[in-house]
Structure 1
Amino acid sequence: MNIELYPQCQLFKFTILLNYNKEYFIRPEIESRAVNGTVINRAYYSAYSYALLWLEETEKFKPKQKWEFEEKGEKYVSEHQQVRNALKDHNKIKASRKLKDLHDLRKKADYKLSDPLTKNDLDESIEYMNVIFDELKFN
């Protein structure tokens, strides 16, 4: 499996490039918060989609759909939470924890538009994404 060819890896590379070049996109009409929020969003989606691919390919994991919970009378668990739980179940505790931390940053970036995003928020999002990619290796 050549992971370099997968869209998840391409998104990871793009996110690194976007973060590196973020100053280029900041203009008087485009505040840094919009650019930084986009980097954080892409960092989360990159890490999440990579973690899901890792679980599917190495652990044969398949997230349950909402109707599958309803059919069994179980409480619904989002696909994102299912992925974090599955990482824990497969002893990838650090990746699970960092994916949760990154998810929280993404929610701040995407849904709390009046909350400022700090340099630390941005740096942490890239760090968490890197940790997830480093911990989840394909054979």
Structure 2
Amino acid sequence: MDITKYPQFELYLLTLNLLMLKIHLIPEGCGDRCINSTIINRAYFSSFLFCSLWLEDIKHFKPIPVMELDPEERISEHKQVRNALYNFGEKRMTEELSKLAKLRKKADYDPFLDITSKEVSDAVHHMQKIFNHLKFE
């Protein structure tokens, strides 16, 4: 499989470009939080979608849509993917995706909290670890 032809990889490349060009993308009068939160969001979703694709292609695992689960057994597709990575022996990738999920939650749901340059670089670093580690045959 040539992963470079997939939207997940295109989103990965977009995220790297957002980081590289971020200073030019901030609207006049705005702080850098707007672009920082977008970079973190895109780093998370490219990684989540990449992990989902890897699990489906290599391990034949596909998360069950949450609404198809019994109410008392509902677990998000995001958590299902992290659990599957862990269960298939990818503990380190589970940790990377979990760290990204935590950063994304802050970026998306806490708009008045600052996002540091370190958090942005950490998010991109976690994303790169995932993309560099999980291989398609």
**Partner residue, 1:117:** 115
Change (3 A) 1:67 1:18: closer
Percent identity over the alignment is 39
TM-score between the two structures when normalised by the length of structure 2: 0.95
Aligned residue type for 1:126: V
- Residue deviations 1:34-73, cap 9 Å, x none? 0100000000000000000000100111111224421xx7
**Partner residue, 1:25:** 25
Aligned residue type for 2:48: Y
**Partner residue, 1:132:** 130
Of the three residues 86, 89, 98, the one matched with 2:87 is 89
**Partner residue, 1:34:** 34
Secondary structure of the structure 1 residue equivalent to 2:118:
helix
CA contact under 8 A between 1:92 and 1:135: conserved in structure 2? no
1:119 Cα deviation (Å)? 0.8
RMSD over aligned Cα, in angstroms? Answer: 1.2
**Partner residue, 1:63:** 63
Query: Matches of 1:126 and 1:87 in 2, distance apart?
Result: 19
TM-score between the two structures when normalised by the length of structure 1: 0.94
* Structure 2 unmatched runs, 5+: none
**Partner residue, 1:107:** 105
Query: Matches of 2:80 and 2:120 in 1, distance apart?
Result: 25
Secondary structure of the structure 1 residue equivalent to 2:73:
coil
Of the three residues 75, 80, 86, the one matched with 1:77 is 75
* Number of equivalenced pairs: 137
Secondary structure of the structure 2 residue equivalent to 1:21:
helix
Query: Matches of 1:66 and 1:77 in 2, distance apart?
Result: 6
